[in-house]
Amino acid sequence: MSDYFDKQRLAFETRLKAHEGMLRHLKIAPTEDEAPELFDDLRSTLLACGQCACPKTCLEWQAEGKAGTPPWCHKGGTFVLLVEVYDQVKSPSPHSD
């Protein structure tokens, strides 16, 4: 049974590396003050990566340095939305209070 758990742990670690890598790839690095505003979107991306069937392929894609999210990623929209929200948080509208 420990072999099974080792495989599950390694799979989880790979998915977490893919998530962290995608955040770096997309240049998303929220400060402690910004993070609460991004919580829901960050959570959505973490859940998406947690369900990914091919995190190793995603890591390889990130290493190639192509822009954006992989075109084959079924949940890439969660990262696209996070980028949009992150950009808004980084540079709020001059009309916002």
Q: For the beta carbon of residue 60, count every other beta carbon within 10 angstroms.
A: 12
C-alpha 65/C-alpha 80 separation (Å) is 17
C-alpha 38/C-alpha 83 separation (Å) is 10
In Å, how far from its chain's centre is CA 78? 8
Under a CB-based contact definition with an 8 Å cutoff, are residues 59 and 21 in contact? yes
Sorted by where each begins, the domain ranges of the chain are 2-90
pTM score: 0.86
Tens-place pLDDT, residues 17-62:
999 999 999 999 999 999 999 999 999 999 999 999 999 999 999 9
